[in-house]
Chains A and B, each alone.
Chain A
Amino acid sequence: MNHFPEAWGRPRNDVYGAYDHSYLQTTGPKAHTSSPAVTGTSVVGVKFNGGVAIATDNLASYGSLARFSDVKRLRTFGDKAIVGFGGDVSDMQYLDRLLASMDINENYSPRGNMLNAKNLHTYLAKVFYKRRSEFNPLWNHVLVAGFDGEGEPFLSSADLLGTTFSAPHLATGFGAHLAVPILRRKFPEGMPLEEISQEDAVQALKDCLKVLFYRDARSIDKYSIAVVTKDGIDLKEDEQIQGQSWAFAERIKGYGAQTV
């Protein structure tokens, strides 16, 4: 019997050898993220007359394993803006905490949280750029939706390298390949925002999510969708893709063991 309580419940040294501290060392080189672990797939967003709509599915994958099927990847920032996260989920949770604490701090100021979506996007992009410059990236690609300083609908993207761009419709990850062409066809870039209704924008996002569910192996048919207007944020987090039709799948030939 070992009479030292700190050793109780520990693997015995005479059987397993002394504990190897190299597994959890506090000194030595600092480990940086060199690849993401648990990841979220595409985020899609579109501007319309009077606001912005944004959507993601609720899946967090671990490689090809659909690990967590109820992860909300749309996060609100006060009642002003919304961030859609793609990429590493733990980095998303870190950024969400960062933004939540910033929101609380801002609310202590005399006029409350005055930061709009554009300010938030600038901040996030700088956080990403700083971290990539330290070779310790936050492995995300995010879309920020809300309003700018002039009260115009705002939709912009920022990624792990600090790259930023803005467009009437945006998508990250697989969505950049599959959703953006659908959105560009529905709402050509020259089209004035006044001609795009909220209903059309939301329907377009749902269509995009359905196509992504059909073709993106790291996706799921449960999704979150948010609409930001002057009245505030309308966030729905437990939606289900409706009207699936897998009839097309029978016509797909040329993969696997079948002979065409």
Chain B
Amino acid sequence: MTSLMGNQSRGETIGYSFSEPTSANVKQHSFYPYTDNGGSTLGITGSDFAILAGDTRSTSGYNINSRMVPKVFRIGGDDETGEGAQVLLSVVGFAADGNALKEKLDTMVKMYKYKHGKPMSVSACAQRLSTILYEKRFFPYYVHAILAGLDEEGVGALYSYDPVGSYEREQCRAAGAASSLIMPFLDNQVNFKNQYIPGSGAGHALEAVKAEPLPKDTVKQLVRDAFTSAVERHIEVGDGLQMMIITKEGIEEVFIPLKQD
């Protein structure tokens, strides 16, 4: 109130040569707290495994920040080696939010283990991640997260999220810059969308090919194909492919080079 009256009286009493400030108390923030660091992630599940993958490029605008910034993380494992982790998380979008989110979930999963003396189930972890995201509903973590692990039956489990915590269990999901390039490929190759059995009906009334869980080696090759194709058509995707495969034996991590152009 004082400043409002002060601003009005300022120009009247003193003859300043500079112009008076307009719209006294309204000041706009010119600071935008987000940026897009590009990249893409992808998750596919099978009957006894789940794969989470992401490229390792970090961008800002047309610049490549680094060619080696992983987007897939072990959750609830040892800080240095990641040993003991039973959940995987991939984050793509604003990398600083992604890191904050990863660290928060990692802490939550560890606290659960210390408190209850047993590792957190993937479904519980999935619900917790949703809550963490929704807590910041009005200043969101600007990331698309994908969570992967094995469910109580040992079947591959994959959960995908929007930035404010809506989530869903799925067979496969692509996220990030090239998601619109990869997702239709996955619909066709994993869920067999638009695939019909030849000669199974008259005209266009053909019987659809039934989707069934794919073997691990097939899925690995699908992930590589999805990324090599995305690299060709999206400038924010490239440099390296990080793949994490979770089975009952544990987590296997592979790095495969991608084009650097």
Contacts and interface: CB of A to CB of B under 8 A. Distances in A.
Interface of A: 16-17, 20-22, 25, 27-29, 32-35, 125, 129, 132-133, 135, 137, 157, 161-167, 170, 176-177, 180, 189
A189 B64 CA distance: 13
A35 B31 CA distance: 7
B47 interface: no
B29 A163 contact: no
B95 A163 contact: yes
A35 B30 CA distance: 7
Contacts of B60: 163
Given A137-B31, A167-B68, 18 more contacts: A17-B14, A20-B10, A21-B2, A22-B6, A28-B2, A28-B3, A32-B29, A34-B28, A125-B96, A129-B96, A132-B31, A133-B33, A161-B96, A163-B35, A163-B60, A163-B94, A164-B95, A164-B96
Contacts of A135: 29, 31, 33
B63 to A, nearest CB: 5
B58 interface: yes
Given A129-B100, A177-B63, A165 B69 contact: yes
Given A163-B60, A165-B66, A165-B69, A22 B33 contact: no
B30 A34 contact: yes
Interface in B69-96: 69, 94-96
23 contacts: A20-B9, A22-B7, A25-B3, A28-B2, A28-B3, A33-B31, A34-B27, A34-B30, A129-B96, A135-B29, A161-B94, A162-B96, A162-B100, A163-B65, A163-B94, A163-B95, A164-B99, A165-B65, A166-B69, A167-B65, A167-B68, A176-B63, A180-B63
B13 interface: yes
B113 interface: no
A27 to B, nearest CB: 8
B14 A16 contact: yes
Contacts, number: 81
Contact of A189 (B3, B65, B67): B67
B160 interface: no
A25 B2 contact: yes
Contacts of A176: 63
Nearest to B69: A165
B34 interface: yes
A-B interface, 6 closest residue pairs, ranked by CB to CB distance from nearest: A22-B6, A17-B13, A162-B96, A165-B66, A167-B66, A165-B65
A234 B99 CA distance: 33
A162 B97 CA distance: 8
B37 interface: yes
Nearest to B63: A176
B31 A34 contact: yes
B227 to A, nearest CB: 19
Nearest to B37: A163
B260 to A, nearest CB: 8
Interface in B10-33: 10, 13-14, 25, 27-31, 33
B31 A32 contact: yes
B50 to A, nearest CB: 27
Nearest to B25: A29
A51 to B, nearest CB: 20
